[in-house]
Structure 1
Amino acid sequence: MRRRRAVGRAVRWTVAGAIAAVAATLLAAVGPPHADPVRTAAGHRWITDDRGRALVLNGLNTASSAKSRPDGLPWIKEADVQRESDELGSDFVRLLIQWRNVEPRPGEYDDGYLGQIAERVRWYGSRGYHVMLDMHQDVYGPAVKGNGAPAWATEAEGLPVAEQGQWELTYIEPGTVRAFDNFWGNRAASRDLRGHYAAAWAHVARRFSGDPAVLGYDLMNEPFGGSVQGPAFEAGPLAALYRRTIAAIRGADADSWIFVEPEAVSANWGLPSALPYLKDPRGAGDNARIAYAPHLYPLPMDLGGGYTGDAGTWVDRTLGSWRAQTEKTARRLGAPVLIGEYGLDITLPGALRYVAKVRAMAEDMGAGTAYWSNDPGSWAPWDQHLKPTPLLPVLERPAPRAIAGDPVSYAWDEPTRTLSVSWRPKEGVRGDTEVYLPARYFPGGGVVEGGRAGEWDPKSRTLHVTSDAEAPGGATVRIRPAT
């Protein structure tokens, strides 16, 4: 027992030291506040629909509550999805699923669970949403006080996992580190749990292949390498799992998007990622459908701080660094970007300004967003009584949903009540550009300059737009409220 305790202490401090080194590196890496970035240039890769249109995805994560429920299902009913569509106007959801529910016993899959997930996918799909299925984990799995992995796939070898006031610290408990090490194959005696993981994803992909609402699959939430951290983890065990899982999914689903995340400990805070290029069996260039889905939680906020004073200055520096590193990694991957998680307790000082700033940055980058999360409370657009919170109007912004060409830029200017969208023609793209116009700014719909207004759906608040310009230089349309 004493020897086990001593080994556990050594593991804990080894991993804690690695994470502390990451944080120290961050101090030097973020540097001074960055100037406002330039607009997105044409040629930037975009997540596209089946008509080749660039998708501007904005929505919520559904749901944190699913992580702790035995059935692995979110709290929502179909009426909640309708309310979200009506009040928020979102067209995207990152829907959490759990490996423990997909594969409750080795090699045995619970199709009843996947059927219930499919029912919720239908709720979203019938309202025009794009659904990304996220195989979620935090602190590995319930057997080590986390969520995600089934007990049979958790090999902590009897090492302790103590309760922690700051939940993230559970990651560096000896039993948690050992479970991750055995999953990643960091120990020679480990079982091939990664093979089970890839096969579970293939089973999910077979179930949802061809479902028009399912945009794609987020392979793992916030990967953590156990005792192997940093570039050694991302370029080694993590990339190997991604390659294996991508191949397994492509054997079942040739067309859906596959989303990959970097190591969370560093990338969430604006540090570089070492994730290497990942080949898609579909092909390269525009044929590839691999997307990059990092999360954004600046360190002061990860520790419970708001967006004010010195902490706000630190956050601004982190945002600049995060954007630079994210775009660098996306270029290496040849991938479009979607911010898979960001958010803040809106009772903290400056929280609404922070959320608005991240949304504006995402628009500037041409990146989609999934706010954390839809669970009623102080982080959400609605409270425990499902009444709107001050966050809702911050998230509900006029924006394009699908752009029929190669986007150059889009921006919402609130003082002039003008939504501008610019794009260039792109071969093979079909359909109109679609924009979302909230009732609070566009009660009677919109008037289009530089193009023609087509179908207007007052229920979904969606306006179809076509361009007046077919020249290679492209088009810019401006939409203002109809009088």
Structure 2
Amino acid sequence: MRALIAVLAAATAVLGTAPAAVADDVRAHGLTVQNGTFVDGYGREVVLRGFNISGEVKLAENGFLPFASTADAQATAQAMRRLTGANAVRFLISWAGAEPTRGQLDTTYLAKLADQMKAFLDAGFEVLPDYHQDLYSRYLFNTGSWYSGDGAPKWVIDAGHYPQESCGACVHWGQNVTSNAAVKDATSDFWHNANGVQDEFVNQATQTMQYLHDRLTSDEFAGIAGLDPWNEPYAGNYDSNQNSQSWEQNVLWPFFQRFRQAMDTAGWQAKPAFIEPNMFWNANISFEKQTGGFLDTGAIGSRYVFNTHFYDELAQSGVLMPGKAGDGQYSNDFGTIRDRAGALGTAAIVTEFGHPMSGYTSDKTPTVDKAMYQGLDSRLSGANWWSHPAQSGPVLSGTQWHWDVYSGQHHELMNDNPDKVQTTADGWNGEDYSAVQNGQLRQDSRLLDRLYPAAVAGHTLAFTYEDRSRDGSQVLTWNPVPSSMPATSAIVGSGRYGVLVWQGSAGDAPTELHVPADLNATVISDVTASRAGDRLLLAASPGLHFALVAEPAASPSDSQLTAARAELARWAPSATAGAS
């Protein structure tokens, strides 16, 4: 430990306390998109990590608000930060809550929504508001239905005169998207602006954005990352000679351009629109994935973010992927996300991912979620990372689905039916995804409280994190340090570790990594380092840099640290040659 103390003392002598203060103030400058990454006001590349808040918005029990009270929101923000080190949340908004009567905003709803957002903004989170919908609207469904939806208000459905809803022999709520005529017709009507419904949605969204802009302080508004205009878009019914690719280009993309103009009108000019592709692009099972992802738009630029979801439908089937996930399971899938964002000329974010916490495939959840986080960190498998880190690609931002403080304690009248009170799990269509319940994490804290590069002064060339999370009693180690680096391997041992390689730049703010709260870190780097709580601050400096953050079983000696540092210094330049 004395060696680590010496390293930190030297770092403190260089950095002092000013860089920490600068880092605390970073959000006042807001985020932009530059060169395919999120960038803060100090020019640092930013990675957003956190959760969705939350499935409660899908329910009527709290008036389509995420929380029953602002106090619950404040407690949640503090707990999420403490337990996971999250720095961002995707914050759901309900159209039904915002405009229950056509042409009239419910300012009481919006005031409560803004106050609950402030709880996270004031705790230092980046907040991404999301206009959420699933199956278009709960008001399409009968009181005795097996399923429910969320999104559009009742007046929209009343004006549509849709057929009796039925999904037939559907075994999963998502099948309503393509099998329920009422859902399909109503969704199609939105995209065709039947009864002026899309006009009205954009009008109320403009007013809602203006309301939030005016109600939040300038510092709070700086913490708004942008806006997600429409969750998981789908055509409902394709027109003749139309497929997902042409629908995206001719219908969805113009809608997003229209919404972009609404954001500008409402004072959100500096905020990007986080736009989602056809919903079938979000999984690994649909043939339609090959004709989605905005293939025909060309470069969309920095005023938009490529915003996708990822769920492993093969694993959820229980049949198509009979075993568990392994090292590099989603390297290709998340590599495709990086490639599409690169082709579009913007940054990427995965705003939903995860796997059920209960049910007959939940035995896969520890490995599936680990593999998804691995895919966010790097496009490489652990087996290939040390030999080819230059192919790592950018570190992806992501928000896991989801964080529900009322998990297992709901009292939701399903489709307003007092005889169908939903209390278990998420309280919605039998789903159970919440990472937390009764104030406790339901997943391994090693998986959720992760090392990640929150802000890099320069450009990230490669990053990896071996979390050593558990599947039951089995430690999942997918990225061991190779035997060709014995000094580094000896220090890492069987503990968690992460490696960041970056091309540094001079600046007023340091590179900042979130460090898990319980990780007693040994840091080996070519730049000085200091730790401030759960933040590791690395001095901003031009040139190629590396940092190893590990938790050795015993304090390494000075000679061990020197040997590992020399080993990493030899490895980093050759291993990252050609990285972009």
For Structure 1 versus Structure 2, the TM-score category normalised by the shorter chain is: 0.7 to 0.9
Residue aligning to 2:173: 167
Residue aligning to 1:86: 82
Residue aligning to 2:413: none
Gap change, CA 1:208 and 1:279, over 3 Å in 2: farther
- Return the index of the structure with the highest Cα Rg: 2
Identity %: 20
Which of 481, 493, 498 is the matching residue for 1:419?
Answer: 498
Gap change, CA 1:297 and 1:54, over 3 Å in 2: same
Question: In structure 2, what residue type is equivalent to 1:453?
Answer: A
Which of 512, 529, 545 is the matching residue for 1:475?
Answer: 545
CA contact (8 A) 1:380 1:391 kept: no
Which of 457, 462, 466 is the matching residue for 2:532?
Answer: 457
Where structure 1 has 5 or more consecutive residues not aligned to the other structure, the ranges are 1-42
Question: In structure 2, what residue type is equivalent to 1:382?
Answer: V
Deviations 1:301-355 (A, max 9, x none): 454669642x759x977x3552343233212321211111111124422311111
Question: In structure 1, what residue type is equivalent to 2:39?
Answer: T
CA contact (8 A) 1:404 1:430 kept: no
Residue aligning to 2:190: 183
CA contact (8 A) 2:351 2:399 kept: yes
Give distance in 2, aligned partners of 1:216 and 1:278: 21
TM-score, normalised relative to structure 1: 0.79
SS in 1 for 2:225: strand
CA contact (8 A) 2:458 2:503 kept: yes
Give distance in 1, aligned partners of 2:282 and 2:82: 34
Deviations 1:235-262 (A, max 9, x none): 1211111110011112221112220111
Shift of 1:126: 2.0
Alignment of 1:18-97 (within 5 A): 45-69=36-60, 71-75=63-67, 76-97=72-93
Where structure 2 has 5 or more consecutive residues not aligned to the other structure, the ranges are 1-33, 142-148, 379-393, 408-424, 426-431, 468-479, 481-491, 556-580
Residue aligning to 1:291: 305
Give distance in 2, aligned partners of 1:62 and 1:153: 25
Residue aligning to 1:241: 255
Question: In structure 2, what residue type is equivalent to 1:198?
Answer: V
Residue aligning to 1:35: none
Give distance in 2, aligned partners of 1:122 and 1:256: 17
Which of 113, 130, 134 is the matching residue for 2:130?
Answer: 134
Shift of 1:430: 4.8
Question: In structure 1, what residue type is equivalent to 2:515?
Answer: L
SS in 2 for 1:464: strand
Shift of 1:143: 1.7
Give distance in 2, aligned partners of 1:436 and 1:306: 36
Give distance in 2, aligned partners of 1:52 and 1:167: 44
CA contact (8 A) 2:298 2:343 kept: no
Residue aligning to 2:225: 215
Question: In structure 2, what residue type is equivalent to 1:183?
Answer: F
RMSD: 2.7
Residue aligning to 1:373: 402
Shift of 1:168: 1.2
Shift of 1:475: 2.0
Residue aligning to 1:269: 284
Residue aligning to 1:260: 275
Gap change, CA 1:236 and 1:301, over 3 Å in 2: farther
Give distance in 2, aligned partners of 1:478 and 1:67: 42
Gap change, CA 1:119 and 1:248, over 3 Å in 2: same
Give distance in 2, aligned partners of 1:152 and 1:233: 26
User: Which shows bigger deviation, 43-52 or 145-154?
Assistant: 43-52
SS in 1 for 2:310: coil
Residue aligning to 1:341: 352
TM-score, normalised relative to structure 2: 0.67
Residue aligning to 1:440: 518
Give distance in 2, aligned partners of 1:321 and 1:398: 23
Which of 338, 342, 356 is the matching residue for 1:331?
Answer: 342
SS in 2 for 1:78: helix
Give distance in 2, aligned partners of 1:401 and 1:477: 14
